[in-house]
């Protein structure tokens, strides 16, 4: 059964950024509902190839019946390993659309959305690792403070962590509404949605080790992309976008690259144009698009 993932954000712009060669080899590392993948396939000839990654078992329902297509049910942090397993050392372009899919947000039992009272899960792959419920009930006060401050950019992180630890000594925190009740002292009445979204973002990033996975993925693109190959990436919050921006500009996440005697820095990529954001019309149709930012780079 085909899962409803809605139309991808910045579909045309993201795929156009790959500058597709009809006989090229491309990778969609965030397959989801297959929207970007189908658009890429429509631009390939019979010699072209597309490989896609998605660790979420739900994505299997959207597999594309096309001899040019391969779906790899793994985390994109293993990009290089699985491309080589499938016989490809280098490719012509890589597309990534980070964040949580509309389908994942709309499935109450996945625990990604503040709209539903569901068990705290938030795992992209529900067969792997600790859930958000495990994290909230087992992490130390210091660990919770760091997670909420670093990944949610919450000023009241320490206070929230203290209340969580105090509450769970009496009763386990299982669902969305309980978590909200526990920390409500630190949620301004007119900012409930915004603050809870930051809390959920922090827990989700920690549960899925998202930023470390992103860094590992980006570093591998240096080896995997052919010279002239394109990297087309959509991010949805400043923590992701900062890493993508720095990597595309400097080939590193901190500091500046070394320069030669002529003051020239040797970097692996050159950014293509400025970042792209959705139009007002697209945001009206798909509210999830409001925070999207697309960056494109070319391998030197």
List, for residues 201-219, the tens digit of each pLDDT value: 999 999 999 999 999 999 9
Summarize the confidence of residues 167-176 as an average pLDDT.
Answer: 96
Single pTM value for the model: 0.92
- Domains within the chain, CATH numbers bracketed: 11-102+210-299 (3.40.50.150), 114-208 (1.10.150.170)
- Note the pLDDT tens digit of each residue in 74-121: 999 999 999 999 999 999 999 999 976 554 545 545 545 566 688 999
Spatial neighbors of 283 by CB under 8 A, at least 6 apart, are: 289, 290
Of 71, 60, 16, 89, the closest CA to residue 294 belongs to 16
Length of the chain equals: 300
**Structure-token pair, residue 221:** 């693109």
Question: Residue 244, Cβ neighbours under 10 Å: how many?
Answer: 23
Question: Which residue in this structure is represented by tokens 């901190």?
Answer: 254
Largest pairwise CA distance in the chain: 65
């Amino acid at each position: 059964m085909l899962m409803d993932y809605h139309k991808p954000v910045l579909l045309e712009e993201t795929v156009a950024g790959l500058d597709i060669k009809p006989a090229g080899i491309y990778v969609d590392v965030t397959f989801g509902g297959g929207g970007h993948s189908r658009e890429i396939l429509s631009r390939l000839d019979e010699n072209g190839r597309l490989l896609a990654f998605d660790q979420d078992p739900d994505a299997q329902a959207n597999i594309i019946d096309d001899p040019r297509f391969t779906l790899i049910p793994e985390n994109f942090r293993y990009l290089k390993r699985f491309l080589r397993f499938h016989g490809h050392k280098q490719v012509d372009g890589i597309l990534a659309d980070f964040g949580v899919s509309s389908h994942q947000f709309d499935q109450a039992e996945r625990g990604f959305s503040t709209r539903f009272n569901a068990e705290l899960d938030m795992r992209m792959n529900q067969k792997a690792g600790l859930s958000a419920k495990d994290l909230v009930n087992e992490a130390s006060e210091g660990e919770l403070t760091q997670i909420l401050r670093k990944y949610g950019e919450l000023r009241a992180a320490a206070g929230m962590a203290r209340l969580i630890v105090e509450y769970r000594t009496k009763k386990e925190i299982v669902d969305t509404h309980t978590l909200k009740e526990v920390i409500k002292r630190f949620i301004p009445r007119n900012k409930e949605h915004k603050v809870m979204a930051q809390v959920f973002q922090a827990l989700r990033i920690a549960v899925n080790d998202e930023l470390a996975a992103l860094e590992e993925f980006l570093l591998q693109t240096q080896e995997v992309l052919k010279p002239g190959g394109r990297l087309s990436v959509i991010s949805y919050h400043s923590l992701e976008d900062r890493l993508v921006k720095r990597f595309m500009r400097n080939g590193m996440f901190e500091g500046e690259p070394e320069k030669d005697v002529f003051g020239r820095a040797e970097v692996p990529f050159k950014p293509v144009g400025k970042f792209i954001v959705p139009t007002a019309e697209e945001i009206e149709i798909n509210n999830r698009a409001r925070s999207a930012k697309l960056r494109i780079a070319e391998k030197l």
